[in-house]
Structure 1
């Protein structure tokens, strides 16, 4: 990484993301976390593959160093991809064509070779997020009682207070709230939100997390044997 780039005054980002930085070098980790926070993002930094696999589902985007002390970086990449489709950029000193091919085949959305400029990293993050999170043409604000879901800003508010949700949690809540009188089958939820990378436990975990964050189970109703519907508290 080029440290002089990080001294540049950060521009205001167009969006705020929850970024997971997986970096084994303590100095690089601290520098990168600090730079991204100055850009307004919420950042969690970890140094091992085990920590990365534990924290990845809460992230909007993952920056993954492939040279980790406890696990093979490509295996970590595959593990993250196996549980979801969170955007992921492999950041490593391995720069051969074969290295890049293996990283992309393991599930990375982009591949950045060290040393790199911070502005290039931010540009690549923005490009990956544009592809992963296209703006819906019919994005709108959905209001049900005390709950407001803004599809343009991707924000959730309860009684006017912001509720911090992950990217997938927002997508799940927005899907249910957009069809308040409809039971959404579990299979449709899994295919629409998670695509080809999902499991039954993934959906249940996200529903449970949303219920906790919204302060009750009445916002999302389980219809046994079918799926879920919005509760309209």
Structure 2
């Protein structure tokens, strides 16, 4: 099945580069040159992933991502300038799955998109659900529950939570989390991991599980008791 990627970017040259790279990789592409059009297409066309610039006319990428996350968990990859670390972190905290800094390698961009699509797509049959305290996760169906309450997670958050729940009593070192979730030889800062962990904790706490994830300082991350409220 062909994946459809929505490119929201006001620079036509960059849109052309991204479109050509994705088309060569066998993906279908839709395009928008401003934020409001991009949001409308994201909500009405149901793309499999959105490649989103931050500096957009009409509605910037951060506002678009915030609006999109109110009703959709479609994966989002931000395109950012090297100097915009603050924007990158804010984007991740809003629920973006990944970012690629400009100028970028089209090959790397395609690889990142494929990795996100793989994480957000159906898992291989036979993958069992995971349960820990009041928290249940079914990666096959991209479903997380605290008791009976569904918790909307991005693909990155789901992978991070499933990895921790696969060995809930083990403290996983941060470098191993980065390698498993973001990939080996990928430049990911501690702030990126911290942003996804913070989002994950906030969503689980909102659903009634405030002690879901623990940080063992100087060692790593593990699941908490997940007793619920």
TM-score normalized by the length of structure 1:
0.52
SS in 1 for 2:99: strand
SS in 2 for 1:119: helix
For 2:84 and 2:40, the matched residues in 1 are separated by 29
Please list, as runs of the form range in 1=range in 2, the aligned pairs for 1:168-179 lying within 5 A after superposition: none
For 2:102 and 2:23, the matched residues in 1 are separated by 20
Whether 1:25 aligns to 2:11 is yes
Whether 1:115 aligns to 2:103 is yes
Instruction: State which structure, 1 or 2, has the greater radius of gyration over its C-alpha atoms.
Output: 1
1:195 aligns with 152
Q: 1:79 to 1:102 in 2, by over 3 A?
A: same
Which deviates further from its counterpart, 114-123 or 29-38?
29-38
For 2:85 and 2:56, the matched residues in 1 are separated by 20
For 1:28 and 1:91, the matched residues in 2 are separated by 10
Instruction: Give the CA deviation at 1:117.
Output: 0.3
Equivalent of 1:42 in 15, 28, 46: 28
Equivalent of 1:64 in 30, 52, 77: 52
Whether 1:93 aligns to 2:50 is no
Q: 1:65 to 1:96 in 2, by over 3 A?
A: closer
Q: What number of residue pairs does the alignment pair up? A: 135
> For residues 11-48 of structure 1, what are the alpha-carbon distances to aligned partners after superposition, in whole Å with 9 as ceiling and x for unaligned?
xxxx6211000010011112211221122111001111
SS in 1 for 2:15: helix
Query: Is the CA contact (8 Å cut-off) linking 1:75 and 1:106 kept in structure 2?
Result: no
Instruction: Give the CA deviation at 1:95.
Output: 3.6
Query: Root-mean-square deviation (CA), in Å?
Result: 2.7
1:81 aligns with 69
TM-score normalized by the length of structure 2:
0.53
For 2:61 and 2:100, the matched residues in 1 are separated by 14
Q: 1:26 to 1:97 in 2, by over 3 A?
A: closer
For 2:101 and 2:50, the matched residues in 1 are separated by 15
> For residues 134-156 of structure 1, what are the alpha-carbon distances to aligned partners after superposition, in whole Å with 9 as ceiling and x for unaligned?
424249xxxxxxxxxxxxxxxxx
User: What stretches of structure 1 move > 6 A for 4+ residues in a row?
Assistant: none
SS in 2 for 1:82: coil
Query: Is the CA contact (8 Å cut-off) linking 1:77 and 1:106 kept in structure 2?
Result: yes
Which blocks of at least 5 consecutive residues in structure 1 are unaligned?
A: 1-14, 140-170, 172-187, 198-233
